[in-house]
Amino acid sequence: GTESNGEDGDSNAFADTSSKADPETILQIKRSLNNSLNRLSENTIESVSKSLSSLYSQYPFHDINDCVWENMRLACVPPHAVMSGLIPLYVAAMSGVHWLGGDGIQLGGCIIEWSVRELHESLVKARQPSDLQNMNSKMNKEGSNYLLIVCY
């Protein structure tokens, strides 16, 4: 079948899994993610990656990936700033999680796919003529952050 965005179901990484996921499970995943990512620094990348990768043995990988992406977007893609210091740390930690978890967790692919889609949406919005002056700086910073995620 086709999804609402016109793509086949296999490539629809934006499928809404929140309706299938137990809200308590999602809350537990978010708490664990926040506890680990709040300690993220250059010196703790390895331990944070190990901590995050251990979540994959406890919860469904798609729920964890969705929560990781939500957390990453909130932390690394604010509308008011380019996060050139934080994004490399996040991407390094997520790369470690992907490496430790193997291809089965699909985290690296999800982050790249979601970042490229968000970057595209940001660019499309920035090019619309309505309210161009107010939106342009916001979209450029969001787009820059998404681009940094893809590049790192």
Give residue-wise pLDDT tens across range 86-124: 999 999 999 999 999 988 889 999 999 999 999 999 888
What is the 8-class DSSP label of residue 6?
S
Helix or strand or coil: residue 8? strand
* Residue 92, token pair as written in the block: 């390094």
- pLDDT bin (cut points 50, 70, 90) of residue 130 is low
Tokens 């664990």, located at residue: 32
pLDDT at 17: 41
As a whole number, mean pLDDT of residues 132-149 equals: 76
User: Which is nearest to 59 in space by CA: 90, 39, 31, 35?
Assistant: 31
pLDDT at 136: 54
As a whole number, mean pLDDT of residues 51-64 equals: 95
As a whole number, mean pLDDT of residues 3-13 equals: 38
**Residue 110, Cβ density class (10 Å: 0-12 exposed, 13-18 middle, ≥19 buried):** buried
Task: Please check the confidence at residue 134 and state whether its pLDDT lies above 90.
Answer: no
pLDDT at 44: 97
pLDDT at 113: 96
As a whole number, mean pLDDT of residues 144-148 equals: 95
Q: Beta strands of the chain (E only): which ranges?
A: none
Task: Please check the confidence at residue 141 and state whether its pLDDT lies above 80.
Answer: yes
- pLDDT bin (cut points 50, 70, 90) of residue 15 is very low
- pLDDT bin (cut points 50, 70, 90) of residue 16 is very low
Residues 6+ apart with CB under 8 A from 18: 26, 66
